[in-house]
Structure 1
Amino acid sequence: MRLLLDKQIELIDPSELLRPEPAFADKCLSKFRDYSINEEDPLKERVRRTYRAMHLNQTVDFVKARHERWLKFNTFQATVREALEKLNDLVDESDPDIDLPNIVHAFQAAERAREEYPELDWLHLTALIHDLGKVMAFYDEPQWAVVGDTFPVGCKWGSSIVYRDHSFEGNPDGENPKYNSKYGIYEPNCGVENLLMSWGHDEYMYRVLKHNKTKLPHVACNIIRFHSFYPWHNGGDYKHLEAPGDEETKKWVLIFNRYDLYTKSENLPDIDALWPYYQSLIDKYLPGVLEF
């Protein structure tokens, strides 16, 4: 469902995201998304191994199989709150920035969005639920098919994908002429909404929202769908596949990513005190029991 946006926001200068502004976080922004390799660092090695498994196994056939598995929406039923509370027990194995349960990050992101744009309640809820698709990890989906940055399958892998130089070795799509060219299975300027994305929590939650007929605006759904598509919105890859309108999607994803990435810290929100406000947004935009 498409709703008229309450407010137009100018595209932020990406260079602003690279400056050590204390308003965003408790550490310099250059310290976020550090994917350097250090075999002596357990956190860095956990992240690297997760991406290696992802890049080895995410193929066109694999993604289509996951659609067949998950898009029946018959795995479980839960309210948004119940699903969020499941994330108490999940630590994202692809995240180099924080080692806390995902529900903490959800409230950190939501509160920063609320602070900056208090009038855009749909954006607050979008930030709260943006990682909710990670509940797949509790139903036998390996984390490399749940978390981490996303990318299109079926065409040449973008040069800015993390660990790009070595982590795709052995992926059969890299040897398939149908899938390893610049355009692969796509037409020029087909639009990001028409890409077959690597399987993970972004695509899954987008589909859950649409299946459950959310009242969130379409741009909110696209924020969730593409917030981990860093090779596109941050790395500058895949411009040849963009269509008119994709810049607007990118603008909102970049706005959102200030809350997603730069709020990760050890400062813990008072989740119990915040629940009444966010429950009111859930009741407005995504009420009742959802099918996952």
Structure 2
Amino acid sequence: MTVSVEHPLPDSQVVENKNQCTTDELVLDGGFVVPDPVAGGGFDAPEINAFGHTFRDYDVESLRNKQVEEFYKMNHINQTYEFVKKMREEYKKLDKLEMSIWECCELLNEVVDDSDPDLDEPQIEHLLQTAEAIRKDYPDEDWLHLTALIHDLGKVLLLPQFGELPQWAVVGDTHPLGCAFDESIVHHKYFKENPDLNNPAYQTKNGVYEEGCGLENVMISWGHDDYMYLVAKENGTTLPQAGLFIIRYHSFYPLHRSGAYKHLMNEEDVENLKWLQIFNKYDLYSKSKVRVDVEKVKPYYLSLIKKYFPEKLRW
């Protein structure tokens, strides 16, 4: 599946206005134009989050944001190149348990994300809000509906049966290790205590990588994104590469929001990033206190799971 861009945006341009969509510049397969909410169609992004603040505002004074800042302090101190390498080796074994995708969705009822300044509801609510918002605008892209449903399933790493990892090792924005920490990373100041700063090889723009090497070859901070990507890939999902890319990099905000680290991308990454930027709007702005009727939509998503995944997966 490909995406053609009629009027590409400059790499440095970031969409800041939530209700102004640049999607009229994107044309998908078959000439399908991304919906434009300004013109009266498609998903209409809300002005404020569940706490009454603008989305992803890490500076507003609130008890929730103090908790979020403490989370990022621990994340930036402890996420090192060697830590991520160790986690990938450990969890790629997929030896925790066997269960279906939907069983994993139900497990997420027990999880609340401490890094999220916009919502404190159980995670299954967010999954369905995102999936249903995308389904409304992209009724024929069923792989994208399913990708939205499962993109955060890796947060089960917080639960005892998956190792009960600390929040800083599971959620939050992700970033590369093995090269300089870009200043666009949320709460960048806390990297001053990260042990990787003692390694000069990690302090340049490219670090241990070559320009254009591809994100597949870059060590990204460990968390639910990378874990769910490993689960999907190793269990033989038939989701398109764009879906796997979304799952693996949807928390990589320095890239898809600020344009950082694009020098490490290859051509395939560039194409897949277009889908991720479409997905990100729904991932971020569909968060609300409005509940989804789980039993009503469950049969549809079970049919998609059957289409793209085996009945039971190794986790």
Q: Report if TM-score (shorter chain) is over 0.5.
A: yes
Any unmatched runs of 5+ in structure 1? none
Q: Which sits farther off after the overlay, 63-72 or 119-128?
A: 63-72
Distance 2:304 2:96 in 1: 25
1:25–1:265 Cα contact (<8 Å) kept? no
Report what 1:199 is aligned to: 222
Matched to 1:144, the amino acid is: W
Aligned to 1:255: 278
AA aligned opposite 2:309: L
The answer to whether the aligner puts 1:136 opposite 2:160 as a matched pair is: no
What secondary structure, in the 3-state scheme, does the structure 1 residue paired with 2:248 have? Answer: helix
Asked if 1 retains the 8 angstrom alpha-carbon contact of 2:176 and 2:220, the reply is yes
What does residue range 123-272 of structure 1 map to in structure 2 within 5 Å? 123-138=144-159, 139-164=163-188, 166-272=189-295
2:100 corresponds to: 79
Partner deviation per Cα, 1:52-79 (whole Å, 9 max, x = no partner): 1110000011011111221110011111
* Residue 237 to residue 162, structure 1, CA distance change in 2 (3 Å): same
Quote the Cα distance in structure 2 between the aligned partners of 1:8 and 1:64. Answer: 33
**Post-superposition shift, 1:25?**
3.4
CA distance in 2, matches of 1:114, 1:281: 12
Percent of pairs with identical residues: 47
* Structure 1 residues 8-34: Cα deviation after superposition (integer angstroms, max 9, x where no partner): 464886665524368433324881111
Q: Which secondary structure does the structure 1 equivalent of 2:148 belong to? A: helix
Among 25, 47, 54, the alignment partner of 2:68 is 47
Matches of 2:205 and 2:169, distance apart in 1:
24
Give the match for residue 85 of structure 2: 64
Offset from partner CA, 1:86-133 (integer Å, 9 cap, x none): 110111000000110000000000001100100000000000000001
- Partner residue, 1:18: 17
- What TM-score results when the alignment is normalised by the length of structure 1? 0.92
Q: C-alpha distance in 1, partners of 2:15/2:239? A: 28
Asked whether the equivalents of residues 3 and 274 of structure 2 are also in contact (C-alpha less than 8 Å), the reply is no
Query: What's the secondary structure of 1:31's corresponding residue?
Result: coil
User: Does the aligned pair in 2 maintain the 1:17–1:258 contact within 8 Å?
Assistant: no
C-alpha contact 2:106 2:124 (8 A) present in aligned 1: yes
C-alpha distance 273-86 of structure 1, shift in aligned 2 (>3 A): same
Q: Which residue of 1 aligns with 2:34?
A: none
Looking at structure 2, the residues matched to 94 and 157 of structure 1 have their Cα atoms a distance apart, in angstroms, of: 19
Task: Give the stretch that moved more between structures: 19-28 or 262-271.
Answer: 19-28
Partner of 2:305: 282
Superposition deviation, residue 213 in structure 1: 0.2
Q: Give the aligned CA root-mean-square deviation in angstroms.
A: 1.9
Change (3 A) 1:182 1:15: closer
Whose relative contact order is higher, 1 or 2, with alpha carbons under 8 Å and at least 6 apart? 1
* SS of the residue 2:149 aligns to: helix
Contact 2:154 2:225 in 1 (8 A): yes
Q: Which amino acid aligns with 2:287?
A: K
* Separation (CA, whole Å) in 1 of partners of 2:175 and 2:44: 26
Quick one: which amino acid aligns to residue 19 of structure 2? P
- Give, in whole Å, the separation in 2 of the partners of 1:76 and 1:35: 36
